[in-house]
Structure 1
Amino acid sequence: MVAVEWRSLLPVILVSSLIVYEEWVSFPSCRLLPDTTANHPNKHVGREDDSPQDLKVMIAANLLLLGSEAGFVNLHFRYYHMAKIFKRSFQSLKPDMLLVLGDVSAKGSELSRTEWFSVLQQLNDMLGPFLELPLHIILGDRDVGECSGLDGKFVNWLAKRFPGLDSSGCGAFEISNISFVSLNDVALLCGNNKLRFGVEKVIERESMDLQVETKDTSEAKDKSDMFRELSYDFEWRENAVTSGSGPVLLLHFPLYRSRNTYLKEGSTLKSTFDLSEHGSTSVESRGFSETGPYDLSQTIPPNATEYIFHALKPRIIFSAHRHEFSDHTHPDGTREVMVPAMTWTVRDDPGFIVATFRENRSAVSVTYCAVARESHILIAYTSALILFLFSLLCQIHKNKN
């Protein structure tokens, strides 16, 4: 008799369990990362608790929305869950700002302007409460296209749809006394392209401002004398500003790193910490352990990388593009964190980053947040369906008897 009653209650138990499970997997699992900049001149010694004056920024990348081309699975499963994850992240982490490091659209460079509006609407639906916060979105190669199809007019049109971007797709802003600079670095891969020259001008302007701010007024040179006219070879005058004294740099493409650096980083990342949660395995930089030839489509070219370091002296760098997580320290002590893809379209284990900028200090705490694996959610749904069908067959068998 007890077994019969239990079977009759099984559908209710299953539905309740699924609701609880959906709520649980909607909350990200976050781990504070060890600081890799042990020798950086601006490193803060010691760790302190969060302060209300700290600036907490959630950083996501590679949403890869499909707009009107999104099918049933994307609309009613992937986008539905990602919207819930953004909402729960907002509630649990209480960030002050949201950054998205490009590739909002999966096929943006192929879309008409009308089709782009459907992508933007999906973006608004997914971000939900984050639309109430300061928001900055940069452009990725999937958004604007590769060099052969890069069109300045289209970039200008798209940049106007995202807050804080100029006609070249770059941005500069300050919040809570923290300066940010975002670059349309897609153009930096494109040789003698008008957009690339526009990006260079932004770098030049920000570098001039940085040098003026860090020198006494009596020692500050005229801005027109600080740089020679930029050329195809990224030429510059000497910049004596200390490494790490510049703005927080936001990129879509990661900066160039030598192959031996990739190998060292990959092995270190695998051995130092495990960010697994919701049953996921440890996060690792799989692409960084490859020994294949250098690919310009994956990183900013070496000469442009050197120019950016020299001109901007970034405090910390956040980049994306490769869909994977990485925490890397460049030779000058500058930390670059690569933000993983925030979509199940390309990864079973997406995630995002939370950066906390400490009040009146140069220290930055970086937290990796893992999102539940799509495969685990599908297994849970499949198991629930099988149990539901089993209970249904039992009920039918009971009625026949």
Structure 2
Amino acid sequence: MAVKWKPVLPLITICSLIVFEEWVSTPTCKIIPSSNPSEVIELEEDPDDLKVMMVANLLLLGSEAGYYNYFFRDYYMSKFFRKSFESLKPDLLLVLGDVSAKGSELTKSKWVSVLHQFHEMLGPYVGLPFHVILGDRDIGECSDLNIKAINWKASSFPGLDPSGCGAFEFGNISFVSLNAVALLCSNNNLRFDVEKIIERESVELHMETLGTAESIVKSKIPRDTNYNFPWRESTISTGSGPVLLLHFPLHRTENGNCNGVNAFESTSIPSAEELDTLESRGLAGAGPYNLLHTLPPNATEYIFQALKPRIVFSAHTHEFCDHVHLDGTREVTVPAMTWNARDDPGFIFVTFQRTGRTVSVSYCSIARESQILVAFLFVLVIFFMSLR
């Protein structure tokens, strides 16, 4: 009987591998319940709900990608995107920075190769509306930041102004994306431009909420180096503003605890061992800023006061985190979606419900690189055994 099966064993093995590839390419998503008891998630979906897929830290190499990255990692990342789009059917894709692994070092021609790689990864869904913000790997450190250097990269993506910020409305939901890298720089013209954008959005929020420009007290931001932002009393309630998109997380006053992540055995702050692992990969661990960077406390408070964000989405740490700030603002940190950063990549799927202001957040995990490699090794062993 074993002899009869032996000639068809390679074919069975290859077919099994194809089925396995399709299976592991489909994301596994789990809703993360909000710690706010007033938020009750409606189980019934409404066709008018806005569904958003959020990814971060793609760390693409463009023309500098080797054969292993091009034929293995990039191939599977494309499958992950395709299967995620097919199963979740998002209305919008948001990329929260670090599209490139070495973008701050690239020439314009090499940056174009990264863009081509990004579009190839989206495949047939490249026409899906998307918004990309710039991360520290895309634009570098404070010493590298200037309008000219940022503008030609910001112009590569829809909705970004020359300073790397954006504001748009999609499905009646307002979004504001900020160049968080610039907010780390104490004395930089680009930082001042980002502050002006925050002020502009704050003014528009007051006008929309209060219905009159006369009730707004406009103030000019001093160009100091100590983040001594001008304070003004606001009658706008917390959570009344736009959805805020950042690359760097906001400052946290509570030990960085993350709610709802125990199910994924994840923490918001990488351990020393994890940092060593990232550095050993040669990409994710050796960036312009380390993974523990957050926005300064005063910049964080200023953003809360000026924008009153409905919810905040950030990235950079490579880890998923669901954190509630002292004023009740929820911040979700999007994990890295690349094997270049970690063995278990993932992303966030968010549903903004049509009725009320409820936001449903799901953590989606995708296959580990080690699982795929073990499967390939198993197939090779079976294949060669069948040839003996």
TM-score, with length taken from structure 2: 0.91
* 1:36 and 1:327 in contact (8 A); partners too: no
Pairing 1:262-281 to 2, within 5 Å after superposition: 262=256, 265-266=257-258, 268-269=259-260, 271=262, 274=263
Partner of 1:226: 218
Please tell me whether residue 317 in structure 1 is matched to residue 299 in structure 2: no
* Aligned counterpart for 1:332 among listed residues 322, 327, 335: 327
The answer to whether residue 350 in structure 2 is matched with residue 368 in structure 1 is: no
Matching residue within 144, 148, 160 for 1:165: 160
Please give the per-residue CA displacement for 1:48-70, whole angstroms capped at 9, x wherever unaligned: 41100100000000000001110
How many residues are treated as equivalent by the alignment?
A: 368
**Paired residue for 1:66, among 61, 65, 87?**
61
The structure-2 alpha-carbon separation of the partners of 1:378 and 1:296, relative to structure 1 and needing over 3 Å to count, comes to: closer
Q: Per-residue deviation at 1:346? A: 1.0
2: CA distance, partners of 1:214 / 1:286: 34
- Confirm or deny: 8 A CA contact 1:200 1:230 kept in the other structure: no
C-alpha distance after superposition, 1:209-244 (max 9, x if no partner) = 001111143xx4265x33243443222322221000
Answer yes or no: is 1:52 the counterpart of 2:39. Answer: no
1:162, 1:31 → 2: CA distance? Answer: 30
Please point out which of 285, 293, 296 is paired with 2:267.
285
Match of 2:117 among 104, 113, 122: 122
Using the TM superposition, give the Cα deviation of residue 296 of structure 1 relative to its aligned residue in structure 2, in angstroms: 9.4
Distance 1:115 1:371 in 2: 29
Map 1:241-256; keep pairs closer than 5 Å.
Answer: 241-256=236-251
Counterpart CA distance in 2 for 1:118 and 1:86 is 19
Q: Is the 8 A contact 1:58 1:95 kept in 2?
A: yes
- Structure 2 residues not aligned, in runs of 5+: 273-289
Whole-angstrom distance in 2 between the partners of 1:378 and 1:229: 54
Whether the 8 Å CA contact 2:221–2:229 is kept in 1: the answer is no
In the TM superposition, residue 326 of structure 1 has moved relative to its aligned partner by 0.3
- Are the counterparts in 2 of residues 230 and 236 from structure 1 also a CA contact under 8 Å? no
Task: Verify: 1:107 aligned to 2:107, yes or no.
Answer: no
- 1:1-400 equivalences in 2 (<5 Å): 2-38=1-37, 43-45=38-40, 47-217=42-212, 220-221=213-214, 225-232=217-224, 233-258=228-253, 260-262=254-256, 265-266=257-258, 268-269=259-260, 271=262, 274=263, 282-285=264-267, 287=269, 298-393=293-388
Distance, in Å, in 1 between the alignment partners of 2:358 and 2:14 is 46
CA distance 1:231–1:154, change in 2 (3 Å): closer
Residue identity in the other structure for 2:267 = S
Structure 1: distance between partners of 2:177 and 2:53: 15
State the alpha-carbon separation in 2 of the partners of residues 70 and 87 from structure 1.
21
- Separation (CA, whole Å) in 2 of partners of 1:78 and 1:234: 44
Deviation at 1:192, TM superposition (A): 1.1
Q: CA deviation at 1:289?
A: 7.5
Letter of the 1:19 counterpart:
I
Work out whether residues 33 and 260 of structure 2, in 8 Å CA contact, stay in contact via their aligned partners in 1.
no
CA distance in 1 between counterparts of 2:91 and 2:368 reads 27
Q: State the Cα distance separating 1:297 from its structure 2 match.
A: 6.0
1:286 deviates by 5.1
- Structure 2: distance between partners of 1:227 and 1:70: 48
8 A Cα contact 2:244 2:310, kept in partner: yes
Unaligned runs of 5+ in 1: 275-281, 394-401
SS of residue paired to 1:287:
coil
Identity of aligned residues (%): 59
- Preserved CA contact (<8 Å) 2:30 2:362: yes
Aligned-residue offset at 1:361: 1.5
Q: Is the contact made by 1:228 and 1:237 (CA closer than 8 Å) also made in structure 2?
A: no
Residues 310 and 329, structure 2, Cα contact 8 Å, conserved in 1:
yes
Counterpart in the other structure of 1:399: none
Structure 1 residues 194 and 297: CA distance shift in structure 2, 3 A: farther
Deviation at 1:261, TM superposition (A): 3.0
Cα distance in 2 between the residues matched to 1:347 and 1:288: 11
Instruction: Give the Cα separation in 1 of the matches to 2:68 and 2:94.
Output: 26
Residue identity opposite 2:386 in structure 1: S
Q: What TM-score, normalized to structure 1?
A: 0.88
